[in-house]
Structure 1
Amino acid sequence: MAPLKSVKRDAIDRRLQQVLDFANQTSALLNDRAPLPKTLDGELDAIIKRSFPFPASLPLTGKASTLDVLGSQLWNAATNLLRDEENGGDNVRDHKARMRLLVLLRVFGFHLIDAAHHTSSRPNTDRDQRIRIFRIALKACRFSLDHGEVEMAMKVLERCSEYANAPEEDFPIVRIADATDGDETDRHGTLKNLVAEYYLLRLTYAWKTDRYDLADHFFTKLNLDEMASSPALAEKAADVFHEAARILAGKKLWEAANRWCERAVSALESCELEDLSHDAPELRLAITGIVVEGCLANSNAGLRQRAMNLIEQLESAYSMSNRMAVTLMRFQILMAVQPLQLADVDAVMAKMIRQGVLTDKSFKT
C-alpha cells in the first residue's frame, strides 16, 4: 500500500493538472475570439470552488511560472472583454450573464496567480510580487462585490487575509539605513494602503450580507489618521461608509445609518478640501441627504441641528449655496420644527423661487 503522504501528493498533482488543462483551454478560447460555450460560467464556478486554494508552501517545480502566465492571460482577456462589454450590449439579461462570466474569469485568473506564488520554492522573497498579487486580489474582490457575486468575493478575501497580515513581518519598524530605504518606505506605504483597502472590502462584504456587527468590527481595524495621508483612500472609505448608511436608511435603521454617515463625514474631513477629487462635493451632498432623511424620520433635536450644520458646511466650504437640493433640505428641516419659524421658512422659500428654473420637474418640487 502506498504511503498516505504519497497518495495525497498524487491527488494534488492530478487536481493541478486538471486546473492547468482547463486554464489552457479557456485561454485558447478567449484568444481565438471564438464563441464561448454557455456552460463556461458553470465550469469556472465549479473549478474555483473545487480546486482552490492549493496547500500552502507546496513546491511544484516548473509549475509556478506556468500558473502565473496563464493567470495573467486570463486576467487580461477578461479586461479586454470588459472593455468590449462597456462599448456595446444593451440586453440587460445578456449583460448580467456576461458580467458574471467576467467575475469568474477574474477570480480564476487571480487564483492561478496566487497559486503560482504559493507553489514557488521561495514565495516570500519578492516583495514587489506580493504587492502585485495583493492588488490583483483586491481588484478581483471589488469587481465581484460590485456585481453581486458575494460568494466569489469571499473566496478572494480568504486569500487576501494572508497578504494583509504580511506587512509587519516583511517591513520591520526599525531598519538600518541603506541605499534602498526610500524604496522600502514606498513599499511599506503602499502595503499599508492595500491593507486599508482590504478592510474596506471586508466591511463592504459584511453589509452586503447583512452582517452589520462584522461591518462595525472591520471599521475598528481601519486607522483613519493614517488614511488621511492618502486622500484617494480616505474618499474611497467615505464612499463605502455612505453606501452602508444608504442601505441602513433603506431599512429605516436610522441610528445605525447616522453613525455610518458620521464616519463618512469624518473620513472626508480628515483631508484638506483641495486634495479631494471633483466627486467629493456630490458625495458630501449624498451623505447629508441621508442625515436629513433620518432627521425627518424622528424628532431628535440634536440630529436636526447636526443636519443643519452639514447643510451650512455644504453652502460655505463646498460653495453649494446655489444648489436647489441644498436649499430644499434646509426647507424640509425648517418645516419639521414646531412651532414653525415663519420668517426662516419665508426666506428659504423665496430663495428656492429665485434659484428655480421653471420646468415641469422644478414646478412639482
Structure 2
Amino acid sequence: DIKILQLSLRSADLCIESGTLDLSLKILERAAVRVERLEIFSGDDDVPIGRTLSAKYYMLRTLLAWHQTRPDLAEHMLCMIPEEAINNDLQLASELADLCYNVGQQAFSKGQFDLAAKWLEKAAKHNSRSLNAGDENSPNVKLRLIILHMTVRAYLEQNSGESRTKSLQTLEILISYYPNELAVLILWLEVMMKQGNPDHRIFYNRLETLVHVIELTDTNIKIILSYIQKLQEWSIEMCVRTLEQLLLRMPVLSDNEQWIDRLFVISIRLSTSSGVADSLSLLDAVATHLYDYLMKPLSQTTANASLIVRLGINP
C-alpha cells in the first residue's frame, strides 16, 4: 500500500501541475482508501511514514481544491493534515509553508486581500516551524521575509481599522527580523508616512539606515528625498543630518556632482528657512565634512552655497 500510495501521490501532483484537475481528483479519490487503511492498520514502525503520506495526501487535496476555485474546501483539507507529522518533520513543514504562501500569493494577485492574508498567516505559522535555530542561511529565512512582507501589504489593502492594526503588528515582527533589509525599510517608511503621528525619532533612525543600504540611483535618491520631506514636518535638524549622510555616500558610489550640488542646496534651503539657529552651524559642519571627504575642492555652486552659510547670509 505504501509504494502504491507514494506513486499515486506523485501522479496526482503531476496532474495538478499540468492542469488536468479531473484526473488528479480521480487519483486522489482512489488514494483516499489507502490513506485511511494506512492510518488504521499501520504498525508502530510504519507510523512516521504513514503520517507523512497522510499529510502529503491532504496537502494535495488542499492544492487541488484551491485550483478548483473552492477555497472553503481547501481550508477544510488543510485542517485535516496531521499536526504530529508537521511538528516532527521540518521538510514537510517547509513544503506546507510553500503551499500556503503560493495560495496566498495567488489570492493577492487576484485582489482577494482578505483571503490572501488568511493564507499568508498560515504560511508564516508553518514557515516558523520549518526554521532551525541559528540557521540564518536557510531558504526558509528568505521565505519568511517574503511571506511577512506580503502579509503586511494584504492587510493594508483591506483598509479597515482591524486590518491596519494587524498590518502594524506584522510590520513590527518583520522589522525585528530584518532591520537592515531594503524592502522592509521602504515598506516601514511608507506605512509610517501614512500614519497620523509616528515616532519621528524612529522614523529618522530607519531613514538613516536606508540611506546606508540603498543603491544610490536617481530614482532611489528621489525616494529618499520624499521621506526627508516628511521628516521636515518634525525636525529640520534631522532632515539636514540625513542629507549629510546622503551627501557623504555620494562620492563613494557616484561621481554625479549635480546631485551633490542639489542636495547641498536643499540643505541650505531647509536650514535658512527654518528659523532654527543650530541648523546653520550644522550645515556649516556638513560643508566641512563634505570637503574633507571629497579631498578636492567643491564645485563652484556648492562652494558659493557654503560661503553663504559661513557668512550667515540668508539668500
Provide the secondary structure at the position in 1 that maps to 2:133.
helix
Distance of aligned partners of 1:329 and 1:209 in 2 relative to their CA distance in 1, 3 Å threshold: same
1:144 aligns with one of 5, 8, 15: 15
CA contact (8 A) 2:108 2:116 kept: yes
Matched, 1:358 2:216: yes
Note the alpha carbon deviations across 1:117-141, whole angstroms, 9 max, x for none: xxxxxxxxxxxxx211211221222
Count of residues in correspondence between the two structures: 222
Whether the 8 Å CA contact 1:334–1:344 is kept in 2: the answer is: no
Whether 2:27 is the aligned partner of 1:156: answer yes
Alignment of 1:167 onto 2:38: yes
Match of 2:125 in 1: 266
Please report how far the alpha carbon of residue 310 of structure 1 lies from its aligned counterpart in structure 2 after TM superposition.
3.5
Contact 1:231 1:275 in 2 (8 A): no
Deviation readout 1:152-197 (Å, 9 max, x if unpaired): 32232122212211123322xxxxxxxxxxxx43421101111111
1:15-48 deviations in whole A, cap 9, x for unaligned? xxxxxxxxxxxxxxxxxxxxxxxxxxxxxxxxxx
Greater shift in the superposed pair: 257-266 or 343-352: 343-352
For the residues of structure 1 that align with 2:169 and 2:207, how far apart are their CA atoms?
19
Deviates more, 1:232-241 or 1:149-158: 149-158
The partner residue of 1:245 within 71, 87, 104 is 104
Q: CA RMSD in A?
A: 2.6
Per the alignment, residue 284 of structure 1 pairs with: 144
Within the candidate set 186, 194, 202, 1:328 is matched to 186
Tell me how far apart the structure 2 counterparts of residues 148 and 186 of structure 1 sit (CA, whole Å): 36
- From the CA coordinates, give the structure whose radius of gyration is larger: 2
Question: What is the TM-score with the length of structure 1 in the denominator?
Answer: 0.55
Distance in 1 separating the partners of 2:111 and 2:144? 21
Q: Percent identity over the alignment?
A: 23
Question: In structure 1, how many angstroms separate the alpha carbons of the residues matched to 2:21 and 2:220?
Answer: 40
Q: Which amino acid is 1:163 matched to?
A: R
What CA deviation, in whole Å up to 9, does each residue of 1:238-294 have, x standing for no partner? 111111111222222222221112211222234553398821112212211221112
- Please state if 1:234 is matched with 2:93: yes
8 A contact 2:97–2:127 mirrored in 1: yes
Give the alignment partner of residue 55 of structure 2, picking from 188, 192, 196: 196
Query: Normalized against structure 2, the TM-score is what?
Result: 0.62
Alpha-carbon spacing, 1:360–1:228, altered in 2? closer, same or farther (3 Å)? farther
Q: Report which stretch shifted further, 279-288 or 304-313.
A: 304-313
Give the conservation status (yes or no) of the 8 Å contact 1:238–1:267.
yes
Which residue is equivalent to 2:5?
134
Please give the alpha-carbon distance, in whole angstroms, between the structure 1 residues aligned to 2:176 and 2:44: 38
- Whether 1:348 and 2:230 are equivalent positions in the alignment is no
Q: Secondary structure at the match of 1:151?
A: helix
Whether contact under 8 Å (1:304, 1:333) holds in the other structure is no
Distance 1:270 1:278 in 2: 13
Deviation of the 1:332 alpha carbon: 2.4
Whole-angstrom distance in 1 between the partners of 2:84 and 2:44? 18
Question: Aligned partners of 2:71 and 2:222: how far apart in 1?
Answer: 37
Shift of 1:314: 4.0
Aligned partner of residue 322 in structure 1, secondary structure: coil
Relative to structure 1, the CA distance from residue 185 to residue 336 in structure 2 (aligned partners, 3 Å threshold; closer, same or farther) is farther
1:295 matches 2:155: yes
Contact 1:224/1:270 (<8 A) preserved: no
Distance change (3 Å), C-alpha of 1:360 and 1:201: farther
Q: Which has the higher contact order (CA 8 A, sep 6+)?
A: 1
- The answer for unaligned runs of 5 or more in structure 2 is 224-315
Deviation string, structure 1 residues 36-85 (Cα, Å, up to 9, x no partner): xxxxxxxxxxxxxxxxxxxxxxxxxxxxxxxxxxxxxxxxxxxxxxxxxx
Pick the structure with more helix per residue: 2
Q: Report the Cα offset of residue 315 of structure 1.
A: 4.4
